[in-house]
Amino acid sequence: MLRKKKNGITWLEFELLQLFPEVKHGVLLGLPLEEGSFEENGPKVQGLFGVGKCARLKQCHKKDVVEVREEGLFEGYDGMVTAEKGVGLLIRHADCQGAIFYDPIHHAVANVHCGWRGSVLNIYQETIKQMGTLYGTDPEDLIVCIGPSLGPEAAGFRDYKEELPEHFWRFQIKPFYFDFWEISRMQLIEVGVPEEQIEVAEICTFSNEQDCYSYRRNQKTFRHGTFVVLS
């Protein structure tokens, strides 16, 4: 990932998306984007990316994905899709994966919040299904980028046999610890996204205390924002 800073805000950008300047995006570092702090920090993000409209979610660790065409707060979803230019999509996360999907053929974009429950429910497959239905997206055309999240050395599940499906168990790197970066890669490849069109940051939020918020490390913590907009 590429690290950038402007107007006192530091963010990361994906290398694969540098090929598509129409996709403005960033993983915001050290800038809380809770509901309580959005009124202050949301406009800073919108100003950074030059966009006036922002859609965001009240996330619930499920797999429902909503199409948005205007700004607002959408409750009960963990993913958003749009083909509208100038409508920014913001999701919040601390340890969970924030993933951007871009269809360069139909000029549609998605922003998805995916924790381990979202992985179990396969929200990434649901996102691709929705993009196919709404925009005609072919998985072979998609660019998918997954930002900083809980790494294998920190993703411990003592009750994994009750919490995780058996086909996840082969991603256990040591007793009780699982590689969700590879689980996500597997899920995307299984539905037809080419491996070379998937970028996983492989930055662990738990171990990277300088840059990243982590629920598993601190329990009470702020959340990052991942933002994307079609210009």
Res. 39 pLDDT band, cuts 50 70 90: confident
Mean pLDDT confidence for 40-64: 93
Contact between residue 224 and residue 98 where contact means Cβ atoms under 8 Å apart? yes
pLDDT digits (tens, 9 = 90+) for 196-218: 999 999 999 999 999 999 999 99
Res. 220 pLDDT band, cuts 50 70 90: confident
Two tokens, residue 170: 């082969």
Query: What's the CATH class of domain 20-220?
Result: alpha beta
Write down the mean pLDDT value for the chain: 96
Residue 59 reports pLDDT greater than 90: yes
- φ and ψ at residue 104, rounded to 5 degrees: -75, -10
pLDDT at 65: 98
Q: DSSP 3-state assignment of 223? A: coil
% the chain with pLDDT above 70 = 100
C-alpha torsion sign, points 71, 77, 172, 191: negative
Burial class from Cβ neighbours inside 10 Å (0-12, 13-18, 19+) for residue 65 reads buried
The span from the CA of 130 to the CA of 128, in Å, is 5
Contact between residue 94 and residue 213 where contact means Cβ atoms under 8 Å apart? yes
Secondary element (H or E) of residue 135: helix 123-135
pLDDT at 38: 85
pLDDT at 32: 85
pLDDT at 37: 80
Q: DSSP 3-state assignment of 192? A: coil
pTM of the full predicted structure? 0.97
Contact between residue 25 and residue 14 where contact means Cβ atoms under 8 Å apart? yes
- Identify residue 41 by its one-letter amino acid code: N
Residue 158 reports pLDDT greater than 80: yes
Mean pLDDT confidence for 112-133: 98
Res. 167 pLDDT band, cuts 50 70 90: very high
Mean pLDDT confidence for 93-100: 96
Mean pLDDT confidence for 116-139: 98
